[in-house]
């Protein structure tokens, strides 16, 4: 029950934030972050019409997905070790957290074995915090160019995690910077690369992210409760 009403509330807030930013509500997709939550919570969200779910840990995702019969669009959003890619090949439809060429190469290799292509986002560490994953802003274009050469991945956009602030307005400049970077990369016209997705915004700051152009918001706590 709580999950259903939380989802309704979040969808309303997403729509309001989009309209406030002069955007179509349908241009923002909700990724329900179900990490650490049981499969039953995912099922409850599915019954409430949620279809896209984000997970951070390979083992947890594989086990959870095995217990769910319904069609789920899984997105991998956490830090990824290359040696674990094969466990989720074909299972996830998007990986948000590609921050190095060696990882993209492994994703391409594993999806290639299946004869298909994986949609990926390049994770950028806009704030430059040492504790955060992501390629630096300065190296993002170079990484995009290198990844674009790989046969079985498709770059669809960028992802970022700003520093944590109590005030969501403090995160806004980091979201604006990611949009700016995606426009710079788009302008380079790298063959095969699209900059149509911006994955940014979590429970505490998704409205600011949407106003700055987010197309994918990753929300856990506000849907499933505190972890």
Q: How far is CA 94 from the centre of its chain?
A: 8
Contact yes or no for 181/140 (Cβ under 8 A)? yes
Q: According to CB under 6 A, which one of 3, 33, 104, 208 is a site residue for ligand PLP?
A: 33
Burial 167-198 (b: 16+ CB within 10 A, else e): ebeebbebbbbbbebbeebeeeebeebebebb
Shortest CB 174 distance to ligand PLP, Å:
14
Residue in 198, 193, 116 with CA at minimum distance from that of residue 155: 193
Identify residues 38-67 at the interface with ligand PLP (CB under 6 A).
56
- Residues in binding contact with ligand PLP, number by CB under 6 A: 14
133 binds ligand PLP (CB under 6 A): no
Shortest CB 201 distance to ligand PLP, Å:
8
Shortest CB 141 distance to ligand PLP, Å:
22
Shortest CB 188 distance to ligand PLP, Å:
26
C-beta pairs of 213-217 under 8 Å, 24+ apart in sequence: 213/21, 213/23, 213/175, 213/179, 214/28, 214/175, 215/27, 215/28, 215/29, 215/157, 216/28, 216/29, 216/31, 216/75, 216/96, 216/159, 217/14, 217/28, 217/29, 217/30, 217/31
Q: According to CB under 6 A, which one of 11, 35, 109, 154 is a site residue for ligand PLP?
A: 35
Identify residues 69-128 at the interface with ligand PLP (CB under 6 A).
77-78
Q: What are phi and psi of 198, to 5 degrees?
A: -125, 110
Identify residues 145-184 at the interface with ligand PLP (CB under 6 A).
161
Closer to ligand PLP by Cβ: residue 35 or 43: 35
17 binds ligand PLP (CB under 6 A): no
Which of 68-76, 135-143, 166-174, 219-227 is the region at the interface with ligand PLP (rule: CB under 6 A)?
Answer: 219-227
Shortest CB 130 distance to ligand PLP, Å:
17
Closer to ligand PLP by Cβ: residue 157 or 220: 220
Q: According to CB under 6 A, which one of 58, 193, 202, 210 is a site residue for ligand PLP?
A: 202
Residues that bind ligand PLP (CB under 6 A): 33, 35, 56, 77-78, 161, 202-204, 218-222
């Amino acid at each position: 029950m709580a999950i259903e009403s939380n989802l309704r509330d979040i969808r309303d807030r997403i729509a309001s934030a989009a309209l406030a930013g002069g955007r179509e509500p349908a241009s923002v997709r909700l990724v329900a972050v179900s990490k650490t939550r049981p499969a039953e919570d995912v099922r409850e969200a599915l019954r409430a019409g949620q279809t896209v779910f984000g997970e951070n840990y390979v083992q947890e995702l594989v086990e959870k997905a095995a217990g769910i019969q319904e069609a789920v669009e899984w997105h991998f959003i956490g830090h990824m070790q290359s040696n674990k890619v094969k466990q989720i090949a074909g299972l996830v439809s998007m990986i948000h957290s590609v921050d190095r060429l060696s990882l993209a190469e492994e994703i391409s290799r594993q999806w290639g074995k299946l004869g298909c292509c994986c949609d990926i986002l390049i994770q950028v560490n806009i704030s430059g915090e040492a504790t955060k994953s992501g390629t630096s802003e300065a190296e993002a274009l170079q990484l995009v160019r290198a990844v674009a050469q790989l046969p079985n991945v498709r770059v669809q956009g960028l992802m970022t995690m700003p520093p944590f602030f109590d005030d969501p307005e403090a995160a806004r400049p980091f979201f604006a910077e990611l949009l700016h970077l995606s426009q710079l990369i788009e302008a380079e016209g790298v063959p095969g690369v699209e900059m149509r997705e911006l994955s940014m915004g979590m429970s505490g700051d998704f409205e600011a992210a949407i106003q700055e152009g987010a197309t994918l918001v990753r929300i856990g706590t506000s849907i499933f409760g505190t972890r």
